[in-house]
């Protein structure tokens, strides 16, 4: 999940004034370009629903759906950074709420849309945690369209039934299950590329350290060198031993395909899986596949949220604002999230709008007792500058399994990149 694009962006302090001087003309505004990484099965269908709603409401305006595939969004972010440096911004681009937006904000490539948010009355209906993730110093910079959950373990019920196993309550129990599953010639836990391994690591850390200490890893309040953290990292290396790491899939969909084919029992992945398996693969939730929270994270919601921005110098600003209006609307968020397999960022949409997995998840999201934490792998809790360092460190850690070395370097890079 490389983020080289963020490094390029951070190295271009003169970018904002240049963009500000190249604002687009509205006189020939017959289109709007939407830039995202939603191009694969289980993702593009939801975006297409929003696009149809936009074109129905904005007659004569054509949506240019610029979806860039590959690398969990890394290729899209690299292309975006190049375009921003070249003073060629799209009309709106996708970004994760939270720390991932900070470099864009620092480099002044995003419009302050606080007035728009207030005019649409979104400040009163967006979930407080999500609203905080798109607001810096009292100014709001993007419109959240959904909420996803990262701490989920999907499984093939037929594989578990044949092995006479139940979903594990702890990571240690998962490792123990490997003995039986290996005898049955099954992969215990399927993984994908490095970013999926990062998500797996964050869920192990969350399950072992619990919410407060997990959150402290990203804001300096938890000591990376503590025995608790080292023990959790050691456990992560043992979890990797019961995966198909040496033959890992090149993206998350093939990772889930192994589970559905019955060659693997489990896969840790966010709930975009629901749309992929239900809509694209025509599988039935709670029959062909099931899900539980990752071991040790009961009562915790590890969130990420997608949002859309208004870049400085957007060629068709009025059309882009109309797009943001659809993204933030009650109708848009209902239709989009029903298809995408995610939850609305708004809090005023009835639970009855969602069924199956989404109903189970929405109930937990709205429960006041649920503890909300941010996802590492999906940009909620660390700045892109630190994320670039983490990706390099994690690649080495997966190879050598040296928990203490990894922890020491995580702490030193935190100190170097924090602001």
For the chain, domains (ranges, CATH) are 31-147+304-368 (3.40.190.10), 152-302+377-418 (3.40.190.10)
Q: What is the pLDDT along the chain (419 residues), one digit of tens a residue?
A: 333 344 445 444 344 444 444 444 444 569 999 999 998 887 889 999 999 999 999 999 999 999 998 666 878 988 999 999 999 999 999 999 999 999 899 999 999 999 999 999 999 999 999 999 999 999 999 999 999 999 999 999 999 999 999 999 999 999 999 999 999 999 999 999 999 999 999 999 999 999 999 999 999 999 999 999 999 999 999 999 999 999 999 999 999 999 999 999 999 999 999 999 998 999 999 999 999 999 999 999 999 999 999 999 999 999 999 999 999 999 999 999 999 999 999 999 999 999 999 999 999 999 999 999 999 999 999 998 899 999 999 999 999 999 999 999 999 999 988 76
d(CA 114, CA 178): 51
Give the pairing of strands 300-304 and 148-149.
Answer: antiparallel
pLDDT at 43: 83
| Residue 109 CB coordination number (10 Å) | 26
Q: Residue 58: which H helix or E strand, with range?
A: none
| Residue 36 CB coordination number (10 Å) | 22
- Between the alpha carbon of residue 174 and those of residues 160, 187, 205, 244, the distances in Å are 12, 12, 15, 14
In this structure, is the dihedral angle defined by the CA atoms of residues 127, 128, 130 and 131, taken in order, positive or negative? positive
| Residue 59 CB coordination number (10 Å) | 6
d(CA 320, CA 26): 11
Q: Residue 26: which of 89, 91, 93 has the closest Cα?
A: 91
Distance of CA 108 to the CA centre of its chain: 23
Starting at the edge strand found earlier in the chain, the sheet holding 152-155 runs 187-190, 264-268, 152-155, 290-293
Angle (nearest 5°) at CA 102 between 96 and 107: 125
For tokens 């070395």, the residue is 405
* Those residues with Cβ within 8 angstroms of residue 419's Cβ, 6 or more apart along the chain or in another chain: 102, 383
d(CA 105, CA 100): 10
d(CA 345, CA 52): 20
d(CA 79, CA 99): 20
pLDDT at 261: 98
Radius of gyration of the chain (CA): 21
* Contact assessment for residue 258 and residue 267, using Cβ atoms and an 8 Å cutoff: yes
**What SS3 state is found at 87?**
coil
* Contact assessment for residue 284 and residue 123, using Cβ atoms and an 8 Å cutoff: no
Distance of CA 264 to the CA centre of its chain: 23
d(CA 378, CA 374): 8
d(CA 142, CA 114): 9
């Amino acid at each position: 999940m490389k983020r080289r694009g963020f490094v390029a962006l951070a190295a271009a302090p003169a970018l904002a004034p240049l963009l500000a001087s190249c604002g687009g003309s509205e006189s020939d505004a017959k289109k709007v370009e939407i830039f995202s990484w939603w191009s694969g099965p289980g993702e593009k269908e939801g975006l297409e629903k929003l696009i149809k709603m936009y074109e129905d409401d904005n007659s004569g305006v054509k949506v240019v759906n610029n979806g860039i595939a590959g690398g969990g969004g890394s290729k899209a972010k690299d292309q975006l950074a190049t375009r921003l440096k070249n003073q060629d911004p799209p009309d709106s681009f996708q970004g994760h709420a939270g720390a991932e937006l900070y470099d864009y904000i620092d480099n002044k490539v995003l419009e302050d849309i606080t007035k728009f948010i207030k005019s649409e009355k979104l400040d009163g209906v967006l979930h407080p945690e999500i609203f905080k993730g798109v607001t810096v110093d009292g100014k709001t910079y993007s419109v959240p369209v959904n909420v996803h959950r990262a701490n989920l373990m999907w499984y093939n019920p037929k594989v578990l039934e044949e092995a006479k196993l139940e979903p594990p309550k702890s990571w240690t129990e998962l490792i123990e299950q490997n003995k039986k599953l290996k005898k049955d010639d099954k992969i215990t836990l399927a993984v994908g590329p490095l970013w999926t391994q990062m998500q797996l690591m964050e869920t192990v850390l969350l399950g072992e350290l619990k919410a407060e200490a997990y959150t402290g890893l990203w804001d300096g309040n938890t000591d990376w060198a503590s025995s608790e953290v080292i023990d959790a990292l050691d456990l992560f290396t043992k979890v990797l031993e019961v995966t198909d790491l040496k033959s890992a899939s090149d993206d998350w969909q093939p990772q889930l395909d192994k589970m559905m084919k019955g060659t693997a029992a489990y896969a840790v992945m966010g709930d975009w899986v629901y749309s992929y398996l239900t809509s694209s693969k025509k599988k039935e939730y709670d029959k062909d596949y099931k899900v539980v929270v990752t071991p040790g994270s009961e009562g915790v919601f590890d969130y990420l949220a997608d949002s859309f921005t208004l870049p400085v110098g957007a060629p068709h600003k009025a059309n882009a604002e109309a797009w943001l209006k659809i993204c933030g609307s009650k109708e848009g968020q209902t239709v989009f999230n029903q298809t995408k397999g995610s939850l609305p960022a708004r809090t005023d949409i009835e639970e009855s709008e969602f069924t199956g997995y989404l109903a189970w998840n929405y109930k937990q999201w709205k429960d006041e007792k649920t503890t909300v934490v941010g996802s590492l792998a999906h940009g909620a809790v660390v700045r892109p500058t630190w994320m670039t360092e983490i990706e390099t460190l994690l690649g080495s850690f997966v190879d050598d399994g040296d928990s203490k070395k990894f922890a020491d370097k995580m702490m030193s890079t935190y100190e170097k990149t924090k602001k």
